Amino acid sequence: MANAQNVAIPGGNAQNSAMTAEERKVIFASSLGTVFEWYDFYLYGSLAAIIAKQFFSGLDPTAAFIFALLAFAAGFIVRPFGALVFGRLGDMIGRKYTFLVTILIMGASTFIVGLLPGFASIGWAAPIILIGLRMLQGLALGGEYGGAATYVAEHAPHGKRGAYTAWIQTTATLGLFLSLIVILVCRNMTGANFEVWGWRIPFLVSILLLGVSVYIRLSMSESPAFQKMKAEGKTSKAPLTEAFGQWRNLKIVILALIGLTAGQAVVWYTGQFYSLFFLTQVLKVDATTANLLIAGALVVGTPFFIFFGSLSDKVGRKWIIMAGCALAMLTYFPLFKALTHYANPALERAQQSAQIVVTADPKQCSFQGSPIAREIDFRSSCDIVKRTLAQASASYEVVEAPAGTVASVKIGDKEIASFNASLVPAGHSFDDASKKQIAAFKKQVGESMASAGYPTKADPAQMNTIMVLVVLVILVIYVTMVYGPIAAMLVEMFPTRIRYTSMSLPYHIGNGWFGGLLPTISFALVAQNGNIYYGLWYPIIIAGVTLVLGSLFIRETKDVDIYAND
């Protein structure tokens, strides 16, 4: 570690200088360790459908998947609290040791998930423990990103912070890519047993990645900016109070959240997560093909993180991020419709030639997006027909019927009356007669959809794989536009003494809450509304708010001296 009384501070006219060996080591060590952490975190998201069956089998299938996504989101919900805890430690005791602790918590939690018995073995204790482990992961990740981004930025020469911190931005994508590759290998090795026990292997493998990450983190030295500040006795004694108890800094935190990270988050999670869920859950593309397509898009798109990070050093960071939000707003609907067209053309043809219309009394219709619902919670004829269509990922329109009307569904020219199970007392299971009538209704709907051309899964022979990949690459490029410059910009918005704390909170509220909840909210919106594209309104609206407020109130930061006024 450098002597704290004689610390070399990056700076000067370094824009044309080559990266030094020490700078490459800093970027490599920070980035590789963070890749492994994101690998741990993304395993759950990629295996959400299997985890729903393993840990939430006590719920109705649609509710189980929504609840699995909610458990995935639980890790994101607690991230801001991790940002507060570890951000405070990072500003008080240093960057290096703080995010060494975060990786230990993350790795241990992920390994335990691989050992955790499912619902069939220990009942409701399984999902409760799982959610607890997800929350530990979220707390750790809440302290990880701010430390890595701050650490790299404080080593970077002036004029190259965008390019240097962009390497940190690749880690989330590379971590997702690594998790997808490991999942594909394990799926091929275990075959039919993958959904039984093979899914646990990627979680157990994380213990090896943890060992490598800890070794790398131990070899790192403290950031020169923190060493200098510590040597001068200027470290903050109360970073939370300084960061959020003083309006001059708090207002910047709020602007960073609403005018930057909220929009960046929804564009990121739509491009990398919602697109994967949309392919597998809505378009019925098999999991292996969907994962390979996402991985391919990431391979093509990841270099653009560096491109846009470097470009932000020249033209500024703000307008690249705003442009990414604007493009997402304008093109999400046509791009996801293009995914349907190229990935499952049979579904698109069926939707055009045999539209599905539900006729129902709206007062009999419950909220279909509930994450805790069971099959027996949906008793009215409206609920039963909507639930049946939601489980088939069918897009439908709703026509209002007079009060008391028994709901029906029309598929093309065939109309089928639903079954009303409201007479069964609340909280009681359906009797045998009700079960038979519900099963008969679902069978009729399935047969009618099949005769109308609705596929039960995507046909690989009809899929235009190249065009699906092109659409996914475009979505990933939007991700790189909003995410490539964001770390440098957040670092430049706050002073060194409270930088770790200040930048971590808006980043993790934006990405943890606005982004992490995106799959859950979007699929709940789809289940409630009945249109497979309706969930896109959530990222479009959030990106629009960020575009307007960021354009009006966020100032450009690329020329800020991050060592001044500390």
Residue 47 lies in a domain: yes
Q: Which amino acid would we find at residue 60?
A: D
Higher pLDDT, 68 or 564: 68
Last residue of a domain, one of 451, 486, 514: 451
Asked whether residue 306 falls in the same domain as residue 404, the answer is no
Count of domains in the chain? Answer: 2
Asked whether residue 478 falls in the same domain as residue 387, the answer is no
Asked whether residue 493 falls in the same domain as residue 528, the answer is yes
Q: What pLDDT, on a 0 to 100 scale, did the predictor assign at position 226?
A: 66
Q: What pLDDT, on a 0 to 100 scale, did the predictor assign at position 201?
A: 94
Residue 107 lies in a domain: yes
- CATH number of 385's domain: 3.40.30
Question: Which tens digit of pLDDT belongs to each residue from 73-128?
Answer: 777 788 888 888 887 887 777 666 787 788 888 888 889 989 999 888 888 888 88
Asked whether residue 269 falls in the same domain as residue 391, the answer is no
* CB 37, CB 141: distance < 8 Å: yes
Q: What pLDDT, on a 0 to 100 scale, did the predictor assign at position 217?
A: 74
| pLDDT exceeds 60 at position 3 | no
Show the tokens assigned to 513: 């809450």
* CB 389, CB 442: distance < 8 Å: no
Which residue, 524, 541, 192, 150, is CA-closest to 333? Answer: 541
Residue 176 lies in a domain: yes
What's the whole-number mean pLDDT along residues 5-11? 47
Pairing type for strands 414-417 and 396-400 reads unpaired
Last residue of a domain, one of 430, 451, 472: 451
Last residue of a domain, one of 403, 427, 451: 451
Residue 192 lies in a domain: yes
User: Could you tell me which residues come within 8 angstroms of residue 122 by beta carbon, excluding any fewer than 6 positions away?
Assistant: none
Asked whether residue 146 falls in the same domain as residue 215, the answer is yes
- CATH number of 61's domain: 1.20.1250.20
What's the whole-number mean pLDDT along residues 235-264? 88
Which residue, 153, 164, 38, 157, is CA-closest to 503? Answer: 153
pLDDT confidence band for 13 (50 / 70 / 90): very low
Asked whether residue 174 falls in the same domain as residue 319, the answer is yes
What's the whole-number mean pLDDT along residues 408-415? 91
- Span between the terminal Cα atoms of the chain, in Å: 22
What's the whole-number mean pLDDT along residues 30-35? 72
Asked whether residue 333 falls in the same domain as residue 363, the answer is no
Helices (H), 114-160: 119-122, 125-155
Asked whether residue 522 falls in the same domain as residue 418, the answer is no
Show the tokens assigned to 47: 């295996």
Q: What percent of the chain has pLDDT over 90?
A: 34
Burial class of residue 465, CB neighbours in 10 A (0-12, 13-18, 19+): middle
Residue 14 lies in a domain: no
Residue 71 lies in a domain: yes
Residue 16 lies in a domain: no
* Parent domain of 412: 349-451
* CB 318, CB 547: distance < 8 Å: no
Asked whether residue 142 falls in the same domain as residue 239, the answer is yes
What's the whole-number mean pLDDT along residues 8-16? 49
Compute the distance between CA of residue 130 and CA of residue 50 in angstroms, rounded to an integer: 14
pLDDT confidence band for 19 (50 / 70 / 90): low
Asked whether residue 365 falls in the same domain as residue 266, the answer is no
pLDDT confidence band for 130 (50 / 70 / 90): confident
Asked whether residue 91 falls in the same domain as residue 146, the answer is yes
Question: Which tens digit of pLDDT belongs to each residue from 261-298?
Answer: 999 999 999 998 899 889 998 899 998 899 889 889 98
In sign, the C-alpha dihedral spanning 150, 272, 129, 205 is negative
What's the whole-number mean pLDDT along residues 504-513? 87
Compute the distance between CA of residue 264 and CA of residue 325 in angstroms, rounded to an integer: 7
Question: Which tens digit of pLDDT belongs to each residue from 189-228?
Answer: 998 899 899 999 999 988 888 888 788 777 776 666 666 6
Asked whether residue 432 falls in the same domain as residue 482, the answer is no
Residue 436 lies in a domain: yes
